[in-house]
């Protein structure tokens, strides 16, 4: 009897099979496997990985013995069986992130996940040296999510060719959208694995408009084939999120109704139901986020007023993640020249509206044209330290916190947990030297002044109750924490 | 033949007559005079000034000989005649400010007036020493307009009794709303005269809700009598503006339709048609500014987005003066704890939307409770220097400048004069290191970088035309001036 392979819960188990190389294995061959464990039954799509290799990737979510059997339209690949023992998860693997408490996120094991994310669209398309720099930067960063594109990007400060493409080329030099390039995907997957070990969610942007190669306009069949293929490859990684598009509304070649089909292709090939979103360009005509396959709102919001976060939260009853609100930097574009003070302010504003701030990005103008938002590399700005402070602050507070009617006024907002008696009040750009607040009756509170720019926490002496006056430092960007004794 | 008195154009000429002291001269006696000069004919309302003195005040607006004849329901005051010679205006007297170029202001002599104003509601109600301090502060300040109340104010940091009231008291200690107190008004007028000499417009707030004495709820007859009386007294001062109310919508005792009548009383007794506005509390339900007696919008706007200024400008086709947008300070109230950076930013934002920034006020918390916005006194903040810089900047640019579609983009706005080829672009809180702009065809431009916070002007070398890139300092609060060569 063959020794049964042990696989950590939410880790990747691979069935690798030899199969036909003739014809076009990417289009001719169907492969899947059914994994069972007790009454659990998961159907997993396989994929061709080149050189006659076929792979079925599986992420077990239940400890115990899993058995599988393959299916294929090719006899050589059909009817293979085997089993694995799913053991306790590896240290640090909390499973995929799910929506929790309606407006929030938690890992599958219940650990709260507070998204503090960044964007580096084309970092995987850069040189190996630069990619290693990006990993080093991420390792020191507060970011637990990164927005990144499968396809290379053509845009200002990002005109270099990628090291490899997702497709093979035909004899005439054009891309063959029926033949994927496994070299590209294997390397992409190695990066996703490393991100996973680092505790970073790969928010995979599957489609985007910034393109000079034709990937944004491949046609219906190629679009669907691509989405099925990448989902089959990546769905078994616990740290993958599906971002159907960056700025779907700017993709002129796609009809609006096509996005429903795109989503369904991904859902069909993702038995784990990873988080799935569609990121907007303009806020006026967003995708219908009430559709059930949309897990959360992935929002671009460049305006001053953070109130739209609350509006969308209430409208859709789903988490609102601000993934883009302008980047810390100094370039020409209005979305790329925020001060770090402003980006920090926006992050807190979104959180205090009941949203999530995964909106870091950096666009300082540089002669070497290595701008983080496009290529990764080093970071130069002052907002990452503030977002680290924000993450630390939120992680030591009650979870989850939502918009609180208990405290708050026309000029400032608050989030809190009434259950835990824990509140955060944010005074934004204002600089009060004191503030009168009306605390929930019958409880006594401790107060902490949290300076989000200077990254200090000052415990105030005494206890507070009812209508009371709290002395503040007369500086902007102050959060006041009130916690029941 | 009596020597004819010489009066400077737009100066005050007074006819002083002895009249009856019996009964109640304030309510019993009507007095007016008709002034004529060639075909010009101005009817002026007189008033009782106590001690048997009756006064008709007149502001001639045309040089030459003016003749007058009084009218009264008392024989003693009727039929008095006389004449004056109106000569060239005194140095510095440019006449009353009028609406000019639809959205702007100019003095009667054509000199542009760019409002850069402040608010000190109850400064005239403080001690003489403090009032003198206020004058000293104003003399050093950039402010050419001050919002100030006739009636004393009852509010946080302003609980002291005034030195004098506009009304006499009855034997029972309550105010007699049929008997004005000339001592109060004469002193008020001495302050308005001094402001006039300093080139400061007295934006007289005639009614306001912050009251513990009953002046906000005197009833219809007393309201009308007060408005007629103060108009008769003050209309001849060239530097008076009528602000019918501070926060008219917060005056619960007044019906909304009463404001039309209040305006008509003022207009009837003001032959010079001074500027007249009604300041809002909330922006949602403002007075109908399309009514012809409203000269301009006196706006309170506490929100972040300055776009409402442009909206109102377009809606009413009148100048929009932001008179209140939050004050530089540190008090509890959300409208009283702006940083100086924010107030400066707001001022420029309003100007760049085609409005006017008369919105200075200071509310730093102080143990002595002398806060400028209420009591005047000294100033402690950093915004007045910036508003001085703004005024100087605007005064050296082409006049008038309006919203410019020629330059500007989604992320920044511009004002300019196409005729003069002079444009101001404001990048707000953004910090671009460079900016591509599309300049009007066929012209060459010089560029100046104006740092509104550091108050520096840096001329850029070279000339610019068409689509061009302009290097900027990668700091926030930058205005770029582009002027045709």
Q: Which residues of B touch A476 (CB under 8 A)?
A: 339, 342
Query: Between chains, do A334 and B430 touch, taking CB under 8 Å as contact?
Result: yes
Contact A411 B303 (CB under 8 A): no
Domain A5-87, CATH number (from 1.10.3480.10, 2.60.40.10, 3.40.50.10490, 2.170.130.10): 2.60.40.10
The architecture CATH gives domain B402-484: Sandwich (2.60)
Q: Tell me, what's the pLDDT at A307?
A: 93
Residues B182-213 pLDDT 10s:
999 999 999 999 999 999 999 999 999 999 99
Q: How far is CA B302 from CA A385, B89, B187, B282, B331, in A?
A: 31, 40, 34, 9, 15
Contact indicator for B362, B122 with CB cutoff of 8 Å: no
B409: which DSSP letter?
Answer: B
Rounded-to-integer distance, Cα B59 and Cα B43, Å: 11
Q: Do A365 and B433 touch (CB under 8 A)?
A: yes
User: Residue B404's pLDDT band (boundaries 50, 70, 90)?
Assistant: confident
Residues A55 and B347: their CA atoms lie apart, in Å, by 63
Q: Place B1 in a pLDDT band, splitting at 50, 70 and 90.
A: very low
* Spatial distance between the Cα atoms of B89 and B6, rounded to a whole number of angstroms: 11
Strand B13-18 versus strand A31-37 pairing type: unpaired
**Per DSSP, what are the bridge partners of residue B366?**
none
In whole angstroms, give the CA distance from residue A449 to residue A451.
6
Would the pLDDT of A20 be above 70?
yes
For the cut 50, the answer to whether the pLDDT of residue A1 exceeds it is no
Q: What mean pLDDT value characterizes chain B? A: 96
**Which chain A residue shows the shortest CA-CA distance from B330?**
A432
**Which phi and psi angles does A187 have, rounded to 5°?**
-70, -40
Cis check: omega of the bond before A400, within 30 degrees of 0: yes
Tens of pLDDT, residue by residue over A431-457, are 999 999 999 889 999 999 999 999 999
Q: Cα distance from A346 to chain B (closest Cα, Å)?
A: 12
Q: Who's near A298: CB < 8 A, 6+ residues apart?
A: A203, A243, A277, A278, A279, A280, A321, A323
A-chain residues within 8 Å CB-CB of B333? 411
Cβ-based neighbour number of residue B446 at 10 Å: 15
Q: What is the pLDDT of residues B426-454, one digit of tens each?
A: 999 999 999 999 998 899 999 999 999 99
User: Chain B window 404-433: which residues touch A at a Cβ cutoff of 8 Å?
Assistant: 409-412, 427, 429-433
The boundaries of every CATH 3.20.20.80 domain in chain B are: 97-395
Nearby residues of B65 by Cβ (< 8 Å), 6 or more positions away: B4, B37, B83, B84, B85, B86
Residues in chain B with CB shorter than 8 Å from the CB of A431 are: 329-330, 337-339
Q: What is the pLDDT of residue B2?
A: 58
Closest by CA position to A24, among listed A189, A268, A225: A225
Residue B202 CA to residue B242 CA, distance in Å, equals 8
- Which residue of B lies nearest to A409 if distances are taken between CA atoms? B334
Residues of A in contact with B431 (CB under 8 A): 329-330, 337-339
Instruction: For residues A339 and B445, give the distance between their C-alpha atoms in angstroms, rounded to a whole number.
Output: 29
Residues of chain A with Cβ-Cβ distance to B430 below 8 Å are 334, 337-339
Q: Which residues pair with A22 in a beta bridge?
A: none
Number of cross-chain residue pairs from A and B with Cβ atoms under 8 Å apart:
86
Shortest distance between the Cα of B411 and any Cα of chain A, in A, equals: 5
Using the predicted structure, report yes or no on whether residue A2 has a pLDDT greater than 70. no
B interface mutation test: which of A332, A343, A428, A476 has the most B CBs within 10 A?
A: A332
Q: What integer pLDDT is reported at residue A3 of this predicted model?
A: 73
Q: What is the pTM of this model?
A: 0.95
Q: Sort out which chain B residues have CB atoms less than 8 A from A430's CB and list them.
A: 334, 337-339
Residues within 8 A of A (CB atoms), B 270-309 only: 302-305
Q: Taking residues B329-334, what's their average pLDDT?
A: 96
Which of B432, B470, B471, B478 best tests the A interface by mutation, with the highest count of A CBs <10 A? B432
Nearest residue on chain A to B282, alpha-carbon basis:
A410
Would you place residue A408 in the very low, low, confident or very high pLDDT band (cuts 50, 70, 90)? confident
Distance CA B103, CA A25 (A): 71
* pLDDT at A465 exceeding the cut of 70: yes
Q: Where in chain A is the domain with CATH 2.60.40.10?
A: 5-87
Strand runs labelled E in A102-174: 104-107, 112-113, 117-119, 145-149, 167-169
For chain A, give the percent of residues with pLDDT over 90.
96
* CATH 2.60.40.3950 domain extents, chain A: 402-484
Which residues in chain A touch residue B409, judged by CB atoms under 8 angstroms apart?
334
Of B302, B339, B476, the CB nearest to A476: B339
For chain B, the residue count is: 485
CATH for B97-395 is 3.20.20.80
């Amino acid at each position: 009897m063959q020794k049964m392979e042990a696989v950590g819960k939410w880790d990747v188990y691979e069935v690798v099979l030899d199969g036909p190389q003739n014809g076009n294995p990417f289009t001719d061959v169907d492969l899947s496997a059914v994994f069972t464990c007790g009454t659990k039954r998961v159907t997993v799509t396989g994929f061709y990985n080149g050189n006659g290799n076929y792979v079925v990737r599986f992420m077990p979510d239940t400890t115990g013995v899993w058995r599988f059997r393959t299916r294929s339209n090719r006899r050589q690949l059909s009817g293979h069986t085997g089993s694995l023992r799913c053991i306790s998860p590896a240290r640090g693997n909390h499973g995929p992130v799910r929506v929790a408490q309606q407006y929030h996120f938690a890992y599958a094991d219940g650990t709260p996940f507070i998204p503090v994310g960044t964007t580096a669209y084309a970092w995987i398309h850069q040189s190996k040296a630069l990619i290693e720099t990006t990993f080093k930067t991420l390792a020191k960063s507060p970011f637990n999510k990164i927005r990144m594109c499968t396809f290379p990007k053509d845009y200002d400060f990002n005109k270099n060719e990628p090291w490899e493409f997702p497709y093979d080329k035909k004899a005439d030099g054009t891309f063959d959208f029926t033949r994927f390039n496994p070299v590209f995907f294997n390397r992409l997957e190695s990066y996703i694995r490393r991100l996973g070990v680092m505790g970073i969610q790969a928010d995979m942007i599957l489609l985007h408009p910034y393109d000079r190669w034709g990937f944004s306009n491949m046609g219906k069949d190629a679009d669907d084939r691509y989405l099925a293929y990448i989902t089959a490859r990546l769905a078994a990684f616990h740290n993958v999120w599906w971002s159907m598009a960056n700025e779907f509304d700017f993709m002129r070649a796609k009809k609006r109704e096509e996005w429903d089909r795109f989503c369904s292709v991904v859902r069909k090939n993702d038995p784990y139901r990873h988080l799935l979103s569609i990121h907007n360009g303009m806020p006026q005509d967003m995708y219908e986020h009430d559709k059930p396959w949309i897990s959360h709102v992935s929002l671009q919001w460049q305006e001053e007023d953070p109130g739209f976060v609350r509006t969308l939260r209430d409208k859709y009853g789903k988490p609102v993640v601000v993934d883009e609100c302008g980047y810390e930097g100094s370039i020409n574009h209005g979305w790329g020249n925020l001060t770090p003070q402003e980006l920090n302010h926006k992050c807190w504003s979104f959180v205090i509206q009941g949203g999530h701030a995964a909106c870091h990005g950096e666009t300082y103008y540089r002669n070497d044209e290595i701008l983080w938002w496009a290529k990764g590399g080093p970071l130069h700005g002052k907002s990452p330290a503030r977002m680290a402070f924000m993450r630390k602050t939120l992680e030591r507070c009650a979870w989850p916190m939502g918009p609180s009617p208990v405290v708050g006024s026309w000029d400032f907002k608050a989030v809190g947990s009434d259950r835990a008696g824990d509140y955060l009040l944010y005074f934004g750009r204002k600089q009060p030297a004191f503030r009168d607040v009306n605390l929930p009756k019958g409880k006594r509170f401790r107060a902490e002044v949290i300076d989000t720019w200077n990254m200090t926490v000052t415990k105030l002496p005494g206890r507070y109750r009812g209508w009371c006056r709290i002395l503040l430092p007369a500086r902007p960007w102050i959060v006041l924490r009130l916690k029941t004794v």
